[in-house]
Amino acid sequence: MHSIDVTAQNFTTEVVAASRNAPVLVDFWAPWCGPCRSLMPVLTKLAESYQGAFRLAKVNIDEQQALATQFGVRSVPSVKLVKNGQIVDEFTGAIPETQIRAFLDKHVQRASDQRMQQAHARYLQGDASALTDMIEIANSDPANHTIRLQWVDVLMNEKRFTDAKAILEALPEEVRSKAEISGLLTRLHAMETARDLPDMPSLLQRVQADPGDFLAREQLSTHYILQANYTAAMDQLLEIMRRDRNYGEDAGRKGLLKVFAMLGGNGELVTRYRQKMASLMY
C-alpha cells in the first residue's frame, strides 16, 4: 500500500519515522477544494507507478486542523516532501503531472533506477548479458526518462545510432526541449557523422594549407567533440564564423550553439565562448 490517510495520532509513525526509509509526500487537502479533488488521483497514481519509491500521506485539513496549523498550511492543495524527518521541498496548487514527476525525481530513487545502475555497472565490467537486462529495465518503466537516457548512452557507445535516435525522438516534447537532450542529439549526430569523415591528420594538413577550408574545420570540430576537446572544437567553429558568416548558412554560429547545448548551456567555458561568439556578431 503506497498511500495512507494521516491524522495527528499516526503522523509521527506514518510520516516522520517512515520518511527515514523512503520519502513521504504529504498532501494537505480539503473535501470542498476543487483543485484538491483533481490533484489527489494524480498523486495516488504516481505513488503506485513509483512502486514504493515514495509514500503518499493524505491529510484532510478540516479534520486535522492542528496539523495544518503546525505546518503553516495557508491554502490547499499544499504538498510537502519529507525525508529523514525533515521537509525538503514543497509545492502548492494542482500542477501538471509532468511537473510533479520532475519534482519527485529530484528526491526519489525508483526501483528501476537502482536496477539500471546495477546493470550498467555489469556492462562496464564487460558482461554482455547486461545489454539485454538494460533493454528490459528501460521498457519496464517507460515514464522514467533518466534510465532511458542511460540506455541511450549505452546504445551510442555500441554504435547503435538509429536505435538511440529513435528513443530520443520518442521522448515527450517537454523532455526533448531540455538542454541535456539537445546535447545528446548533438553528440549522436557527431558520432554518426564521424564514421564518414577523413582522419584528423589529413584535416589538419588541409587547414594548414588553406585556412579558408571551412569544411575541413567543420569536420575537425566533429572529431574534437568526440574526444571531448570542446575548446578545440569551438575554436574551429569560431574561426569559421570569423572568416565567413555565409558559409553553410552561418554554420560556425549554429555549430557553437549545439556545443553549448551539449555542455548544458552554462558554465565557465560556455560563458567564455558565448562572449567570443557575441564579439563576432556585433
> Which residue is catalytic, options 15, 25, 26, 36?
36
Phi, psi (5° rounding) for residue 196?
A: -110, 10
pLDDT at 172: 80
The CA-based dihedral angle spanning residues 106, 112, 113, 116, taken in that order and rounded to the nearest 10 degrees: -160
Q: Supply the DSSP symbol for 275.
A: H
Q: Give tens-digit pLDDT for 78-133.
A: 999 999 999 999 999 999 998 898 899 888 887 788 889 899 999 999 998 999 99
Among the listed ranges 231-235, 239-243, 265-269, which one has the minimum average pLDDT value? 265-269
CA 133 distance to own-chain centroid: 22
- Number of domains forming the structure of the chain: 3
CATH number at residue 57: 3.40.30.10
pLDDT, tens digit, 9 for 90 and up, residues 144-189: 888 888 898 888 888 888 888 888 888 887 777 776 777 777 778 7
User: CA Rg, the chain, in Å?
Assistant: 25
pLDDT attached to residue 201: 94
**Is the residue at 135 inside a domain?**
yes
Claim to verify: residue 92 and residue 128 sit in the same structural domain:
no
Q: What is the pLDDT of residue 156?
A: 85
Copy the grid coordinates of residue 111: 526501483
Higher pLDDT, 250 or 143: 250
Confidence of residue 267 (pLDDT cuts 50, 70, 90): confident
Report if residue 84 sits inside a domain: yes
Answer yes or no: is 210 within a domain.
yes
Complete DSSP assignment for 188-210: HHHHHHHTTSPPHHHHHHHHHH-
d(Cα 58, Cα 56) in Å, to the nearest integer? Answer: 6
For residue 143, the model assigns a pLDDT of 78
Q: Do both 33 and 94 map to the same domain?
A: yes
**DSSP string of 114-179, one letter each residue:** HHHHHHHHHHHTT-THHHHHHHHHHHH-TT-HHHHHHHHHHHHHTT-HHHHHHHHHHS-HHHHTSH
What domain range includes position 123? Answer: 111-176
Same domain, residue pair 95 and 122: no
- Specify the CATH number for the domain of residue 248: 1.25.40
Nearest 5 degrees, angle CA 258-CA 262-CA 200? 75
**DSSP secondary structure letter of residue 264:** T
Instruction: From the candidates 18, 33, 190, 240, give the one annotated as an active-site residue.
Output: 33
Could you confirm whether 88 is annotated as catalytic?
no
- Residue 205 located in a structural domain: yes
Q: Are residues 21 and 62 in the same domain?
A: yes
pTM: 0.55
Going across the sheet that includes 55-60, the strands are: 3-5, 55-60, 24-29, 78-83, 86-92
Q: Given a cut of 90, is residue 28 above it in pLDDT?
A: yes
Is 33 designated active site? yes
Q: What is the pLDDT of residues 33-86, one digit of tens each?
A: 999 999 999 999 999 988 888 999 999 999 999 999 999 999 999 999 999 999
Closest CA to 39 of 5, 65, 76: 76
SS3 state of residue 84? coil
Domain-embedded: residue 191: no
Which residues, including other chains, have CB under 8 Å from residue 204's CB and lie 6 or more apart? 220
Residue at which a domain ends, from 74, 105, 136: 105
